A and B are shown apart, each in its own frame.
Chain A
Amino acid sequence: MRSDKKSMFGKKSKKHRINITLLVMAMFGVIHLFIFNYLPMFGIVIAFKDMDYKLDIVRALFNSDWVGFDNFKAFLQDRDFFNIMRNTVLLNIIKLIITFPIPILFAIIIADQRSRKFTGIIQTITCFPNFISWVVYGGIVISLFSSSGVINEIFMRIGLYDTAKNFMTEEQYFWWIAIITDVIKGTGWGSVIYISAIAGVDPELYDSAQIDGASRFQRHRYITIPCITGTIVVLLLLAISGILNSNFDQFYILQNDLNSARSEVIDTYVYKLGFSLRRYSYVTAVGLFKSIIAFILLAGSNLVTKKTIGRGIF
């Protein structure tokens, strides 16, 4: 009787008691994010001050004058503004349009293969480049596309042109190179999530569709794609949220003085001017400009997918 009462009481009080251990564990993450992600947000004030070229950034934070939106205006009037925005926005949108559907297509082709052993080998090989750093991969790409590289040799041998060409130093090729290398490096790994989503589709759907005489194309169009729409939408929104976060590593490694008109994006620009020229306030304003546009883009596309397909991440 007594023990019964105690356990009843104990159970009741437990429900109302705050689980301190869990709270402490979660606070590790909260404090970490507060220091490394939220604290820098206060640093956004740098964008509204005049701290460019100051030697001691910490002291300048308290000593320098407020300048309002001058740094933003300076960016809008900069002669590089058009190039940088075109490279950041347009190239990244083209990249998304090309690199987003390819892993889906790749996953469907993989799912169609009969031999699991074969697809296993293909997946192992195609995922590999993803785990190699952009420094290494970019280093290789620079050699492949240089005037002594194999691409130039092939093109010369089939007679496209006569004198050796260095594709890395001619700006008109940069976008192509950025897109192609993205596809080769990212497709295998990008398809993993779709392959597992397709594996989760009920096989009976395919069987009955086959009995009804659906062609292979029809089966994918009306079964596979609708079944993985949820995955596609979430990944698309995540991709859109990061669309202005150009792949810094890729651009930084592949960039040189001769192709910078096509390869300078906000992130590389902020890095260069911020750390080598010490234009702290100016680049913070540029970075903030990017973050705000990216956030609006995400919220907007989230709204659109929610209205049309009924799914979103928020």
Chain B
Amino acid sequence: MEKVKKKKSLTTFDIVTFILLICFALLCLYPFWYVIVGSLNNGKDYLRGGVNLWPRLFSLDNYIYVFNDSRLWIGFRVSTIRTIIGTITGLLFTATVSYAMSRKDLPCRNIIFWFMLFTMFFGAGMIPYYLVLKLLNLIDTFAVYIIPSLFNVFHMIIIMNYFKDVPSEMHEAAEIDGAKELQIYLKVYLPLAKPVLATVCLWLAVGHWNSYFDSMVYTNSSDLQTLQLFLVKLIKEANLAASDANVALPSNITQSTVVATVRYAAIVISSAPILFVYPFVQKYMGKGIMLGSLKG
């Protein structure tokens, strides 16, 4: 009975939106499919065009080529280390400030909040910021990836709103038990905030993994380049002359690869970690927003 009723009320409008959604989802997916296919195709053959849905001349040479480029490995190492360290330190630092900001008995809470909020709407610009990093001796060091991104006002507001929703009885009960403020934060509030911390943790990790600008502007050393900066160079370069894989590999591989397909292979490799992790953590990604980001 119920089923019949449902079927009856299925209008053309339902079918149209259904098809629209599927089309849009395919539009979101196709670009990634396109590079995966391209990366698995022989380079010379690829240039003839028409490799859009399936590899025509299957080949792993592009991957072999890019794996032999030392810049990829340096980038992979730098990006991995910065993602791990940057995420953990950033999350702890921001959460600590968020806790203090969520407590009503924080002195001058309003002034501090406005002090923080203002930075979201007004920035001094690239050169003055660069000057400060220079004065702090952070230019061309690994720390330039970690220290400036320790604190994020937007993330702070999200975690703060979550802490605000914790019933104040929890705090009072812990206080009566003799717990100090720091203990209450670490032992009561932090464990309670796991869902929102998971969300912010993922945002931070994705942000660190995807960043190239700080690497491009604030570092010079080749052993501090992030993976994404390697990709930027590969995308902006017209050919593979800068790659040291040319020397390391036999000529049958270097002959069959072209910059386009090598680029694809590098793109696939650098997005692989996100691609593999995303389906499992996807439900946490959006949670932070729903957990009350928009109350202020």
Band of interface residues on A = 35 or more
Q: Which listed residue (B25, B106, B131) contacts A57, Cβ 8 A?
A: B131
Q: Which residues of the other chain, B, contact A97 by a CB distance below 8 angstroms? A: none
Within 8 A of B (CB), among A94-142: 106, 109-110, 112-114, 118, 121-122, 124-129, 131-142
| CB of A173 within 8 Å of the partner chain | no
Contact B124 A135 (CB under 8 A): no
Q: Which residues of the other chain, A, contact B165 by a CB distance below 8 angstroms? A: none
Contact A112 B17 (CB under 8 A): yes
Q: Which listed residue (B120, B156, B264, B278) contacts A128, Cβ 8 A?
A: B278
State the CA gap A295–B123 with chains docked (Å). Answer: 10
Encoded as 1 (CB less than 8 Å from any A CB) or 0, chain B from 245 to 272 comes to 0000000000000001001100100110
Contact B121 A241 (CB under 8 A): yes
Q: Which listed residue (B38, B120, B127, B180) contacts A274, Cβ 8 A?
A: B127
| CB of A35 within 8 Å of the partner chain | yes
Q: Tell me if A's interface is mostly helix, strand, loop or mixed.
A: helix
Interface contacts (Cβ under 8 Å), in number, total: 252
Band of interface residues on B = 35 or more
| CB of B198 within 8 Å of the partner chain | no
Contact B278 A137 (CB under 8 A): no
Q: Which A residues form the contact surface with B (CB < 8 A)?
A: 18-19, 21-23, 25-26, 28-30, 32-33, 35-44, 46, 57-58, 61, 106, 109-110, 112-114, 118, 121-122, 124-129, 131-144, 148, 150, 153, 184, 187-189, 192-193, 196, 216, 230-231, 234-235, 241, 248-249, 253, 270-271, 274-275, 280, 283-284, 287-288, 291, 294-295, 298, 313
Of the A-B pairs whose beta carbons lie under 8 Å apart in the complex, a sample of 29, sorted by A's number, is A19-B103, A19-B106, A22-B106, A25-B99, A28-B97, A30-B116, A33-B115, A33-B119, A37-B124, A39-B132, A40-B128, A43-B127, A57-B127, A106-B24, A109-B20, A109-B21, A113-B18, A125-B28, A126-B25, A127-B282, A129-B28, A131-B278, A133-B271, A140-B32, A140-B34, A143-B263, A284-B128, A291-B123, A291-B124
Q: Which B residues form the contact surface with A (CB < 8 A)?
A: 6, 13-14, 17-18, 20-22, 24-25, 27-29, 31-32, 34-35, 38, 46-47, 49-50, 52, 93-94, 96-97, 99-101, 103, 105-107, 109, 112, 115-116, 119-132, 134-136, 148, 150-151, 153, 156, 180-182, 185, 206, 209-213, 217, 228, 231-232, 234-235, 260, 263-264, 267, 270-271, 274, 278-279, 282, 285-286, 289-290, 293-294, 296
